[in-house]
Amino acid sequence: MSEEATEATDEQDRYECRACGYIYEPKKGSSTGNIPPGTAFSDLPPSWRCPVCGAIKVQFVNVGPTEGPSGFKENLGYGFGVNTLTPSQKNILIFGALAAGFLFFLSLYGLR
Ligand SMILES: [Zn+2]
């Protein structure tokens, strides 16, 4: 029984720019400043800036390692079961049905 989790460092952690939402991913590196893939955010030079808005490093917050969207989708599945509709899609259906019913109601008056 080995605890490989203790080897985890912040090398895989992504950092998000609070100014514009740009996310620095260590696996991808950065085209600005010739940052090669695999460079941890903490290893970026102090002169490195956000490639989108030019914010300095202290403007970035740690948003954790890359895990893909699967976990988020699983959570949605638990909440809605087999129903894959999102709340906004349900609203569209509800208001769409209301609008259709209202138009039908008006059309009856128009025929009279
Ligand atoms: Zn930015």
Would you list the domain boundaries of the chain? 8-65, 70-111
31 C-alpha to ligand 1 centroid (Å): 14
pLDDT digits (tens, 9 = 90+) for 31-90: 878 899 999 999 999 999 999 999 999 999 999 987 655 444 444 445 544 567 788 888
| CATH number for region 8-65 | 2.20.28.10
What's the 12 CA to ligand 1 centre distance in angstroms?
19
The stretch 85-110 carries a mean pLDDT of 87
- pLDDT tens for 16-35 read 999 999 999 999 999 878 89
Q: What pLDDT score was predicted for residue 43?
A: 93
How many Å lie between the centroid of ligand 1 and the Cα of residue 30?
13
Q: How far apart are CA 86 and CA 3, in angstroms?
A: 39
How many angstroms separate the alpha carbon of residue 36 from the centre of ligand 1? 19
Cβ count near 17 (within 10 Å): 21
pLDDT computed for residue 73 by the predictor:
47
